[in-house]
Structure 1
């Protein structure tokens, strides 16, 4: 199984665990394209165990179309990235979301 299949399966599982009959009607995961080109991912954290966790703005730029930026604001995890960096972007969320809260204290 490739890394992209693995991170997609992980995201599917994370999403399913949030679905409680209410959450999925108000919030969710949105993956869009950017016109520069690239991807924008918004993962709403409201009413999840991650709602109050912060991810400081982080940007890695390796080239014009090889970059990724991640941050949280307003109980949403945001990732913007180049056209070939979607797997890396989703992996950033997985790593952050899986991190033990005690490690951050």
Structure 2
């Protein structure tokens, strides 16, 4: 069985840790993470990958379910962008955490 502390790491906590690990006194002045609302309605999560270990990593996925929830995630290697319905922000954050692993 794994370490109980590892099991309690939420996607939001993992996102915060990833951000903190990339803050070096310089990176955070030009790059970072943005969470915004969209007029779909929904959420948009943008994570800068420049000058991180994820720079150059690509993805392009969409997922929707019968209950009307949806999420779309893309990375051009420079930015990871996830867009989702109003009730799926947790899924968007989790999609970045999985992308980063």
Q: The TM-score by the shorter chain falls in which range?
A: 0.7 to 0.9
Q: Does 1:78 align with 2:84?
A: no
Aligned partners of 1:65 and 1:53: how far apart in 2?
A: 29
Structure 2 residue runs of 5 or longer lacking an equivalent are 1-8
Separation in 2, partners of 1:10, 1:74: 20
Shift of 1:8: 1.0
Using structure 1 for the length normalisation, give the TM-score: 0.83
1:89 aligns with 2:92: yes
**Please, what is the CA RMSD of the aligned residues?**
1.5
CA shift digits 1:10-49 (9 cap, x unpaired): 1111100000011000000000001111000100000000
Q: Could you tell me which residue of structure 2 aligns to residue 22 of structure 1?
A: 26
8 Å CA contact retained: 1:37, 1:83: yes
Unaligned runs of 5+ in 1: 99-105
**Runs of 4 or more consecutive aligned structure 1 residues displaced over 4 Å after TM superposition:** none
* Matched length: 93
Alignment counterpart, residue 60 of structure 1, candidates 60, 63, 67:
63
